[in-house]
Amino acid sequence: MEAPLRINNITDYIIANHNRKMHSREYTTTFCVSKIKTLMAYYELLKEKKQAGEHNLNVATIFSYQAMELFVNKNAIEEIVLEPHEDYIKHFSEAVEKLLEITPTVASVDELLTEEDEAKFIQAFRDIIWLKNVLECFTEFTFDDLPMDEQLFADYRSKYLDLYDKVRSEHEKERVSILDDIDFELELIRRDKINVSYIIALLRSKKELIERFIANNFPNIPKGGDIDQEFENYWSEEKQKAIKELSDTEGLEQEGLQKVIGDYLFTEKSPMRDDVIGIMQSRPGLRERGTISARVIAKIKAFVETFIDGVD
């Protein structure tokens, strides 16, 4: 089933018949396989054939589970849904416009006067890094479609890393800086494509919760019962338990924590240190604030990844 010749033949069939089957691309199609290894083999082959000029199909990988399959597949992983390729090009262009408003040239990064300005640059370029990584999931990715060529991206990335080194150096000197609050997310730079193992690791806690539902709750649902509603009730209870545990462990005001999480979901921007410090029942000293707030922010992100992202 996974022989290279068979995969090549099926890929050629898809290329030859896609337009006819999809009514001249009026519709999109989904091709499902059982293993990540097989999926990546098809993806790389389609990418290779596109580069060779054999087709112009837009291809993206999706790792998914269906609601009912949760109850028979304990190894299911979370759904990762990509927008169309053209949408990410638009997002990338908007992100570049925002970056150029802050630093019109690479040299202008060195001319930023305040840490607030440096923080704006870091956050703007971090968004560009993230969008570039997503775009690289598509077989049609090329810098030719973007308002920033590969060399300019590399030059700005160099300045981004210079600022990271500066922050790390000042942190070692125990100098308090607002840049301590900034997550440089260097893992975005270190990987060339979205790492499936990394994604699965993030979702491990979600998988464990689903398996617990299958083992403890599913057998007690009567025949004809509403499985979706039972699972929703279970998920809501576990979510509230997790919020209480996080509040108790870190000494946070529960209502304030829920507001910070809500703001994070609405803005899609990482919670700020001051917002996290503001909901602490006991305020830490200046030197401890950076470490403690970073830990809490990481836990908030883990909570969202576990209980909210991709669940609705």
Condensed to tens digits (0 to 9), the pLDDT of residues 112-137 reads 988 888 889 998 998 898 888 778 77
- pLDDT at residue 309 greater than cutoff 50: yes
Write down the domain spans for the chain: 4-59, 85-195, 203-307
> Residue 209: which of 176, 232, 182 has the closest Cα?
232
Lowest mean pLDDT among 198-207, 238-247, 271-280: 198-207
pLDDT of residue 152: 94
Percentage of the chain exceeding pLDDT 90: 20
pLDDT of residue 26: 53
Q: Give the C-alpha distances (Å, rounded to integers) separating 38 from 76, 139, 188, 224.
A: 16, 16, 25, 36
Render pLDDT for 188-215 as a digit per residue (tens, 0 to 9).
554 434 344 444 444 567 778 888 888 8
Torsion over CA: 177, 180, 181, 187 (sign) = positive
What average pLDDT score do residues 86-98 get? 93
DSSP string, the chain: ---HHHHHHHHHHHHHHHHHHTTTTTS------S-HHHHHHHHHHHHHHHHTTS------------TGGGGT-TT------PPPHHHHHHHHHHHHHHHHHH-SSSGGGGG--SHHHHHHHHHHHHHHHHHHHHHTTSTT--GGGSSS-HHHHHHHHHHHHHHHHHHHHHHHTT---GGGG----THHHH-SS--HHHHHHHTHHHHHHHHHIIIIIGGGSPTT--HHHHHHHHHHHHHHHHHHHHHHHHTB-HHHHHHHHHHHHHH-SPPPHHHHHHTBSSPPPHHHHHHHHHHHHHHHHHHHHHHTTTT-
- pLDDT at residue 280 greater than cutoff 90: yes
Q: What is the CATH number of domain 85-195?
A: 1.20.58.910
Higher model confidence: residue 75 or residue 148? 148
The phi-psi region of residue 300 (left if phi > 0; otherwise alpha if psi is between -120 and 50; otherwise beta) is alpha
**281 confidence band (pLDDT: 50, 70, 90):** very high
pLDDT of residue 182: 59
Mean pLDDT of the chain: 77
Task: Evaluate if pTM is beyond 0.85.
Answer: no
- pLDDT at residue 62 greater than cutoff 70: no
